[in-house]
Amino acid sequence: MPQSRTYILGADGATWSVLSRLLRDGKVPHFQRLVDEGVYGPLESVENMRSASAWTSMFTGCNPGKHGIYEFYEFLPQTYSLKYIHGGYKHVPGFWTYLEQAGQTAGVINTPMTYPAEPIKGGYVIAGLDGPGKASPRFCSPGDFIDKLETKMGCEYVIEPGLTGAIARGKPEEAVELLEEELESKHKSLVTMLDSMPVDCLLFVFRSLDAAQHCFWKWMDPTHPKHAQCSKEEIERFGGVIDSVYIKLDAALGDMLDRIGPDDHLMVISDHGFGHKCPVSSQLNQWLAAHRYLVYEEGGTKPNAVSKALKFVASHTSRGTKEKLARLMPGVRNWAQSKALFSGVDWSKTRVYSDAQFPRLRLNIKGREGEGIVDQADAPKLMDELRGKLKAMRDSVSGEPIVRDVFFSSEIYKGTHTGPGEDILVRWREDIVIHGVQMPKGYEAPQEELSVMPGEDPRVISGDHQIHGIFLGIGPAFRKGERIGEGLRLLDMTPTILHLQDQKIPSHMDGRVMKVAMNPGWLADHPVRVLDDESPPSDACPPPRQQTEYSEQEQKVLEDRLRSLGYIE
Ligand SMILES: [Zn+2]
């Protein structure tokens, strides 16, 4: 009898608040089937809820302190700049490595942090959005996989919908077209793989929902602070875009359900949930400045030329050109975006700073950061003080407390790779509408807006990540028709996949087999087995950690290029 198969449909950013409504309205019959015949519930993300970090935990079973990935980029504290990173930076292997060792095959499609695509014997990988583009070497494995796939399905494989540019240009209707094109391409790819490229375990990620929810949330959600400013016509045209993505994913799910056998397992998961964009994340440096933790040079809060240029490039460049640029000039974004972010900060007087992308803070520690001024010995006291002040943050309109939790790195990340992460992580409340942060009395906000990265522009982005994603599972191992209220964690996905594929669970993993979702009879017949593996073999990560530093020479090239195009003065 053939070994049963495991399928994982990754719906980046899928969230119960929307899915429950669509289930209630009878709009997603295949999700409904999973609810009726399988097990489902909220899936807890990793603490920072970032896609790069969360997916890496999903496919390694390890917390970020062990896999070392916190975002699509890393801080370079010596220079206060950022460096874009990729899957080659992870320190522990993905589940496919263990399956391959057991002679099983795996397909891993469009999963963030899987570039460079690892070779899997008898299997295949198409990297996620950490990869520069289809034409890059090692974007897929085997190297001709995308060519073969495109020939079979008769259309182009589209990596990302790339919506922010169209929204920034004030053309949401173009974003809708991009989204439809991407969804159709992914749906066809999935069906082609299921029909003619079988593997023992397939992880196929749709990123469409994450992109759509970031951009279209305000039109859908009447409780969003910006909803009232949207015209009736806009709400009619764009208010249903997010729903339509769920409905298309439901169709893809239906095609999967049609194709799986009675012994197979299918799970639908998301890496985090979704809700309103909390505007305070991008106000953190301003808040730190108001409390004198961060000091700007005179006039330093003005968005500088590079920031403006980046916004221009982001909104006026086509998806294909951006991919090409990223490939031709690796590191361009590293240099330019960090210039935009920390422009005008006086490091000699700054004790705490944030990348203002998501709510995390770093201390400007002496010896650790380039111009650090905080003694390591004083750090705990400063962190306690910050915890108190952060917890006391209040909404600028309602006056309500806005912080649910403040975590220190040591409380949430365990392992030897905590260095690139934050010192302090803030969790906003998800149960109230947050309009902004109240600044201290007498503090005068700068006249000019602060620099933000294009992908975080509040005029473009109205939705953001929340801690609970979705889990639905169907197959002989899973309970039937049961909701699991708590205890399902993204971290548990890899041990669960390995167990469903009849493999031992490496003991270095932080995740556990999701017994809470499984039926006791099946578990009694399939006891969990442990592989004694406290530290994974160092050669278990095939791609070497590749450095993509941006040299001074390259910076100069970029600067000249931007200047010649009129983007900077
Ligand atoms: Zn995500």
Residues 482-491: pLDDT tens digits? 999 999 999 9
Structure tokens at 68: 């070392």
Count, residues in the chain: 569
Q: What is the reported pLDDT for 198? A: 96
Q: Which of 211, 480, 210, 454 is CA-nearest to residue 336?
A: 454
- Residue 492 predicted with pLDDT over 70: yes
> In this structure, are 481 and 443 located in the same domain?
no
> In this structure, are 25 and 63 located in the same domain?
yes
- Residue 546 predicted with pLDDT over 80: no
pTM tops 0.95? no
Instruction: Say how many Å lie between the CA of residue 165 and the centre of ligand 1.
Output: 19
Question: How far are the Cα atoms of 168, 171, 249, 464 from residue 460, in angstroms, in the given order?
Answer: 6, 11, 24, 12
- Residue 25 predicted with pLDDT over 70: yes
Distance, in Å, from the CA atom of 355 to the CA atom of 361, rounded to the nearest integer, reads 7
Instruction: Say how many Å lie between the CA of residue 14 and the centre of ligand 1.
Output: 9
> In this structure, are 147 and 212 located in the same domain?
yes
Q: Are strands 201-206 and 265-269 parallel, antiparallel or unpaired?
A: unpaired
Structure tokens at 357: 């992308």
Instruction: Read off the pLDDT of residues 228-275 as tens digits, 9 standing for 90 and up.
Output: 999 999 999 999 999 999 999 999 999 999 999 999 999 999 999 999
> In this structure, are 131 and 48 located in the same domain?
yes
Higher pLDDT, 151 or 568: 151
Q: Are strands 403-408 and 424-428 parallel, antiparallel or unpaired?
A: antiparallel
> In this structure, are 418 and 519 located in the same domain?
no
> In this structure, are 297 and 263 located in the same domain?
no
Instruction: Say how many Å lie between the CA of residue 558 and the centre of ligand 1.
Output: 30
38: containing domain: 6-276+465-540
3-state secondary structure of 31: helix
**Taking ligand 1, which is a single-atom ion, which protein residues have CB atoms under 5 Å away?**
12-13, 51, 210, 271
Instruction: Say how many Å lie between the CA of residue 13 and the centre of ligand 1.
Output: 5
Distance, in Å, from the CA atom of 97 to the CA atom of 538, rounded to the nearest integer, reads 13
pLDDT mean over 539-550 = 45
- Does some domain include residue 553? no
Distance of CA 383 to the CA centre of its chain: 27
- Does some domain include residue 551? no
Number of domains within the chain: 2
- Does some domain include residue 37? yes
Q: Which stretch of 95-109, 331-345, 401-415, 511-525 has the lowest confidence by average pLDDT?
A: 331-345
Q: DSSP labels for 537-567? A: -GGGS-S--------HHHHHHHHHHHHHTTS
Question: How far are the Cα atoms of 47, 341, 406, 445 from residue 279, in angstroms, in the given order?
Answer: 19, 16, 17, 15
Question: How far are the Cα atoms of 30, 359, 393, 506 from residue 131, in angstroms, in the given order?
Answer: 32, 25, 38, 28
